[in-house]
Structure 1
C-alpha cells in the first residue's frame, strides 16, 4: 500500500488570519486532511513543526510528533492485518471514532425515503419503501446494519423465492439494499468493513430473457389490428405505436411530453431516467398520432391525455402515472389478443421492439444504441438478446444441411 503521512497547514486562513493544522494522509493517490485542533500563523510553521514565534511551540510540537507516530502505527496495524483500508477507516481509528453499526436499518431506510420524497423522486422513494417493507418483514424491525451479512442475504433470497419471486424481483430488492448500505457508508454511518456485497453478488441474479420484443411479422399484425369494434383500446394503441416510432420513448417521457417540445417537425426532450437529450424527426405515423390529440384542444401543456392538468405535484404525477400505466398495460393485453400475437404486450415491449425490429431490418447496433440514448452499446445488446439467439439458431441449421 502506497501511503504517506504529513503535517500541513490549510491553504486558506480563517477570519482571524490563523491557519488550521491538519494531518494529511495520502493513499493510492487519494488524500484526506484530518484537523488536529491546532492553529497558528503561517509564518510560525515550517517543515511540519511550529517555530519559536508560536505560543507553547515546544508542547505543541510534541503533540504533532505524537499525532504522526499514532498515524504511522495505525497504518502498520492495518498492514499487519493485511487490511487494504479506506481513508475513512483510517480516520475512524485515528479519532477513536467507532461507526455506529447499531443504527437500525429501518431508521436509515426512512431517512432516505423521506429525502427522495421531498426532492420529488417519488418513484425512487416508492422502490425503497417496497424494499424496506419486504426486508423488514423478513428480518424484523429491530435489524441493525451489523446484522446484514452475506449469509443473511442468502437467506433473504431463499425467502423471496418461497414467496414466488424470480431473479428479476430478487435483483430489484438486492440492488436497493446495496444502494442503501453504500449510502450509509458514504455518510459514515458504517464502514465498509465486512461489506456483505463483497461476497453476495447481485450480478448472479440475471433475469431470463422472455422474448419481450415483437418480431417484424408481429409488429405488422399489431400495426394493422382492427379496433373498430373496440374503441376503448385506441388510446393504448396510440401510446404503444408512438413509443415505437419515437425511438422507443418510454412511458414516463411520453407522459411528460409537452407541445413546446415539438418544433420544426422534430421532438426535443430530455429523458427522465438518464438525462440524455433527444432530437427526433417526426415521421408521418407519429404526426398522425400528434394530430389526433391536437384537435382535442385540451387545456394543458401536455401532448397526451395522461397528465390532465398543469402544475401537478410530484406525488400527484406519480399517482397518475401508476394509475394510467396499469390501465395501459391491461389494455395492451387485449390488443395483443385481437392482433393474434402470442406474447403479453406491455409498455416496455415497445422499447424492446423498436431496437429488435431495426436490428432485423439491418441497422447496426451502434446506430440503434445512439438512437436509444444508451451510454454503452452493451446496454443495447441486452435488448437484442433474442435476436442473437434466433440468429445463432439459424446458423446451426447449416450443420444439418452438410
Structure 2
C-alpha cells in the first residue's frame, strides 16, 4: 500500500483572457499529478515560493488563504495515512473539496461549475448553465417545496416530469432539449470528477435524442428580404439600430453579432474588412459594399472616443463580465426590435440577428451561386455545414419538382 503523496501550491501555465494565471493545489502520488483550482489568480512575476508577492492586491489575505488550504490538503493526506488507507487522486480531491461520496448536492455542484467558467471568462457557457439551474430549481421547488436536491434525486422519472413541466410552461422542444443536454453535461462532469457513480446515470434511460424539434424557418425569401430592406422607418427611428445591424450582417457575408460587436476601426483597411471570427477563428477579408459603408459612416460620430465600429461596447476597457453583459443586453434589444420591423414590413417570419446569416446563404443560392462558393464566403470548414443552411431551399426545390407531375 502506498499512501505517500506531496503537496505544492503552483501557478497554472495557461493565462486567462486578462493575462492572469490561476493558482492550484498540486498533489503528486505515484508519479501522477492532479491540480485543483484555489479560485485565486495573479501575475507570474508576483508569485514566488508558493506565495503572492508585492504588489499583488489583497496580498496578506490571499497568502493566508493559500497557507490555510495547503494545511487542509496536508491534513487530508495525514488522515488517510493515520487510517492506513490507500487513496486515489480523485478520492483526495473529493475529501479536499468536502464532497460526500455519491451524495453531492446537485445545485451546489452546478454553482461550482458556473464559478469555474466565470473565472475562465467563459461567460456565455456560465450564463447557459445558470439559466438551466434556475429553471430546474423552480421545477424542484414547484414539485417538492424546499427539498434539498441531490444527484441521486435526478432520476429518469424526474426528468420525464421536468419535461412535462417545461412543456406546460410553453417551452419549445428545442429549448427543452438544450436544458436536458446541459443537465447531462453537469452529470458527466460529476462522474468524471468521481463525485457520483456511473450506476446513478439517469440518461441511460432518459434519452435526450427523442426531443427532436421541427426546424423553424430561419431564412427570408427574396421577396421578404426586399420588404425588410425597403421598410419605412421614418416614423420609428428607434428601430434603426436593429435595422442597421441586420443589414450590415447580410452585406458582410452573414457576419454574426459578436463579431460586429468586436469589430474595430483598425479592422477596416483600404475599403475592406479584415477580421478573425470569434467563434471559429477563421480569417475574413471582405469588400465593404456601399450599403455596409453607409452604415459604418452613420455610426462614426457615435464612436469618436472608441476603437469599435459600432456603439455596442461603450468603452475600450470593459472587463469580460461587462462585455458579456453588454452583448446580452444589446442583442436582446436588437432581436425584439427586429420583430417590430418584421411587423412593419408585413413579413410573417420570426426574425433575429442570426436570420441575416441564413438569409445571406439562401438568397445567394437562389440567385445561382454554387454551394462551394457560399461555403467559402461564410467560412465554413466543410460544405456539409453550408448544406444545413440551405436545407429549406432544397426542400422547396424538391417540392416544386414534384408538383410538375400534376401537369402530366
User: TM-score over 0.5 for the alignment?
Assistant: yes
- Structure 1 partner of 2:26: none
Considering only CA atoms, is the larger Rg found in Structure 1 or Structure 2? 1
| Match in the other structure for 2:242 | 236
Select between 316-325 and 352-361 the one with higher mean Cα deviation.
316-325
Partner of 2:115: 114
Q: TM (normalized to structure 2)?
A: 0.70
For the residues of structure 2 that align with 1:145 and 1:377, how far apart are their CA atoms?
41
Whether 1:301 and 2:301 are equivalent positions in the alignment is no
CA distance in 2, matches of 1:199, 1:275: 38
What is the DSSP-based 3-state SS (H/G/I as helix, E as strand, rest coil) of the residue aligned with 1:228? coil
CA distance in 2 between counterparts of 1:198 and 1:271 reads 37
- Range with bigger deviation, 206-215 or 165-174: 206-215
RMSD of the TM alignment (CA)?
2.9
In the alignment, the residues of structure 2 paired with residue 267 and residue 187 of structure 1 have an alpha-carbon distance, to the nearest angstrom, of 45
Does structure 1 conserve the Cα–Cα contact (< 8 Å) formed by 2:303 and 2:309? no
Deviation at 1:119, TM superposition (A): 2.1
- Alignment match, 2:291: 285
In the alignment, structure 1 residue 155 sits paired with structure 2 residue 156: no
1:215 CA drift (Å) = 0.6
Of 244, 260, 279, the residue aligned with 2:266 is: 260
Deviations 1:366-392 (A, max 9, x none): 332333233344433332232122212
- Name the CA shift for 1:215/1:35 in 2 (closer, same or farther; >3 Å): same
Query: Does structure 2 retain, via aligned residues, the 8 Å contact 1:366–1:377?
Result: yes
Q: Please tell me whether the aligned partners of residues 99 and 188 of structure 1 are also in contact (alpha carbons under 8 angstroms).
A: no
Kindly indicate whether residue 383 of structure 2 is the aligned counterpart of residue 382 of structure 1: no
Per the alignment, residue 175 of structure 1 pairs with 181
Q: Is the 8 A contact 2:191 2:198 kept in 1?
A: yes
Displacement after TM superposition at 1:105 (Å) = 0.9
Provide the residue aligned with 1:207 in structure 2: 213
Q: How does 1:31-46 map to 2 (within 5 A)?
A: 35=30
**By how many angstroms is 1:347 displaced?**
1.1
Deviations 1:104-157 (A, max 9, x none): 111110111111122222222111011112123334662222333333322221
Please give the alpha-carbon distance, in whole angstroms, between the structure 2 residues aligned to 1:266 and 1:209: 35
> Aligned partners of 1:328 and 1:110: how far apart in 2?
30
Following the alignment from structure 1 to structure 2, what is the Cα–Cα distance between the partners of residues 211 and 115?
36
CA distance 1:369–1:184, change in 2 (3 Å): farther
- 2:134 counterpart residue number: 133
* Pairing of 1:8-87 with structure 2 (within 5 A): 35=30
> Mind listing any 5+ residue stretches in structure 1 that lack a counterpart?
1-33, 38-87, 90-97
Counterpart contact for 2:184–2:203, Cα < 8 Å: yes
3-state SS in 1 of match to 2:317: coil
TM superposition shift of 1:194: 4.8
Aligned length in residues: 315
How much has 1:393 moved relative to structure 2? Answer: 1.5
Match status 1:164 vs 2:165? no
Question: 4+ runs of 1 displaced by more than 6 Å?
Answer: none
Q: Which one is further off, 239-248 or 314-323?
A: 314-323
Distance 2:325 2:278 in 1: 17
Q: Relative to structure 1, is the Cα distance of residues 277 and 181 closer, same or farther in structure 2, using a 3 angstrom cutoff?
A: farther
Deviation at 1:222, TM superposition (A): 1.8
Change beyond 3 A, Cα 1:362–1:102? same
